[in-house]
Structure 1
């Protein structure tokens, strides 16, 4: 199974801190899986111009291909100005319309205010559903007050991320079983 942890912003550290915790936890529990962390601040990504994702070069091609090859994607995103960052939206724009088909996607959302908790529901989930992802229903929402000196200080956040990871891989196992039954029904 290919797992991608995507830190969906090219600025800031809070989302990356949460994604790094999730990746470290996955390394403990899912040690036999292929895992890649994509921190968008570390790549030079072109803006989508409508080309097929295979036609891009460099970092843009690498990030798009890595996401397309993933079975499970854990998206970390901050909320800026009551919206997802343009860098994350650009990643979705680079991919085909059904580019997330049959992928299990879960979300970790960071925000400076509790008033932004619905951005994932109203903006991110509809994009993921449109792109045919199997979205883990619950997501982790982390507020500014949960951090201090570039560390998560709220133990509940760790528990919620742990539970999100459990839910993500439970959903992945269920969909793998369903797909095996569908494939077996064809008889070839």
Structure 2
């Protein structure tokens, strides 16, 4: 199983901190999983210009191909100005409409105010649904108060991250079995 974590911003540290903990949890609980972190701050990504994702080269090509090859994706995003960062939206724009078909996508969000959970419900989930993702409905919402010195200090948040990892892997395994069983019905 290939799991890709996306840290969806080029600024700040909270989302990366949360993603590091999340992917560490994946590696500990599911050592057979192939885990890749894409921190958008570490790459030079082109703006989408409408080309097929396979035509991009360099960092942009690496990121799009890695996402397309994944079985599951864990998206970590901060909320800025009541929206997801443009860097994350650009990743979605680089991919085809059906990019997340047969993929499980879960979310982890860092925000400065509790009201920003609405952005996930009204902005990010519709994008993922449009791109045909199998969405893990519960997501982890982490507020400013849950961090101290680049560490997550709220035990409930850590528990919710562990549950998110379990749900992501379990849904991925379930959808894979369903898809394989359905494909067995065909004779080609």
Q: Specify if TM > 0.5.
A: yes
Name stretches of at least 5 consecutive residues in structure 1 with no aligned partner: none
Q: What is the match of residue 19 of structure 1?
A: 19
Size of the alignment, in residue pairs? 188
Matches within 5 A, 1:27-66: 27-66=27-66
Q: What is the match of residue 78 of structure 2?
A: 78
Structure-2-length-normalised TM-score = 0.98
Shift of 1:177: 1.4
Name segments (4+ residues, structure 1) moved above 2 Å.
none
Matches within 5 A, 1:86-165: 86-165=86-165
Distance 2:62 2:173 in 1: 27
Distance 2:32 2:168 in 1: 16
Distance 1:33 1:27 in 2: 7
Distance 1:54 1:174 in 2: 29
Distance 1:143 1:171 in 2: 26
Distance 1:187 1:22 in 2: 40
Distance 1:187 1:124 in 2: 38
Provide, for residues 54-88 of structure 1, a one-character-per-residue CA deviation record: whole Å limited to 9, x for no partner: 11110000001000000000000000000000000
Distance 2:169 2:60 in 1: 28
Q: Secondary structure in 1 aligned to 2:171?
A: helix
Structure-1-length-normalised TM-score = 0.98
Name stretches of at least 5 consecutive residues in structure 2 with no aligned partner: none
Shift of 1:187: 2.9
Distance 1:166 1:12 in 2: 27
